Amino acid sequence: MAPATVSFEAVGIESAMADAVRVAGFSRPTAVQAMGMPAICEGKDVVLAAETGSGKTLAYLGPIVDRIAQGKQELEEGGEK
């Protein structure tokens, strides 16, 4: 696990997505998520290698879904990005 002080917001996930992840039962990022999510949020290419059940799928997909949600919100508000 990542240190207890690391939050999903701290690794680059917006608060609405972070809240949804917590509702799904994840209180804080795992070590692989804490390492991978910041770079993925920055749009960098990332390869993560860790054991099954370590959180790789959320590490990859969390930032992608977060970015899609942000874009949808901007479109609904009439903005562009």
Residue range 15-24, pLDDT digits in tens: 999 999 999 9
Residue range 28-39, pLDDT digits in tens: 999 999 999 999
Residue range 43-75, pLDDT digits in tens: 999 999 999 999 999 999 999 999 999 888 888
In a domain? residue 51: yes
Q: Is the pLDDT of residue 3 over 90?
A: no
Q: The pTM is what?
A: 0.82
In a domain? residue 47: yes
In a domain? residue 61: yes
Q: Which domain holds residue 51?
A: 15-76
In a domain? residue 2: no
Q: How many domains does the chain have?
A: 1
DSSP states along 20-65: HHHHTT--S--HHHHHHHHHHHTT--------TTSSHHHHHHHHHH
In 3D space, the residue among 14, 9, 52 whose CA is nearest the CA of residue 28 turns out to be: 9
